[in-house]
């Protein structure tokens, strides 16, 4: 599980960054989100969700990162997803912009978590 968490980080962060940037480009071009963006958005959210889930499993098994800030950023990602779920109707109004910013923010949180390992 530790190896998965260490390696899946790259998948979660890169996917979030690429799809988030795609969303911002769509928003700036004032183009509606194609169906591919909707699928990619869900893949990015699920990838980061799997990363946080693996971290929770590791934490429950007593495997702790170097400092508490790594865990803090994981918790902030969970709260960010919770607020995104609560405000999903508002996010859908301009889904390209809303989800683009959300995914870029989550990517930044993932990078901050990674920088606090060790």
As given in the structure block, the two tokens for residue 85 are 């779920």
Hey, what are 101's tokens? 């910013």
Calpha distance 30→46 (Å, rounded): 26
pLDDT of residue 116: 86
Mean pLDDT of the chain: 94
Q: Given pLDDT bands bounded at 50, 70 and 90, which one contains residue 118?
A: low
Token pair 């795609």 is found at 22
Q: How many domains does the chain have?
A: 1
pLDDT at 67: 79
What is the pLDDT confidence band of residue 8, given thresholds at 50, 70 and 90?
A: very high
Report, as an integer, the average pLDDT of 79-102: 95
The more confident residue out of 51 and 2 is 51
Which structural domain range is residue 11 located in? 2-115
């Amino acid at each position: 599980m530790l190896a998965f968490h260490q390696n899946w980080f790259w998948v979660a962060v890169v996917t979030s960054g690429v799809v988030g940037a795609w969303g911002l480009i769509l928003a700036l071009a004032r183009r509606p989100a194609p169906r591919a963006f909707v699928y990619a958005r869900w893949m990015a959210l699920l990838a980061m969700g799997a990363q946080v889930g693996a971290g929770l499993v590791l934490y429950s098994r007593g495997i702790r990162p170097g400092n508490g800030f790594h865990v803090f950023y994981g918790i902030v990602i969970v709260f960010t997803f919770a607020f995104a779920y609560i405000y999903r109707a508002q996010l859908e109004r301009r889904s390209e912009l809303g989800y683009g910013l959300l995914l870029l923010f989550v990517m930044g949180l993932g990078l901050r978590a990674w920088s606090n390992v060790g």
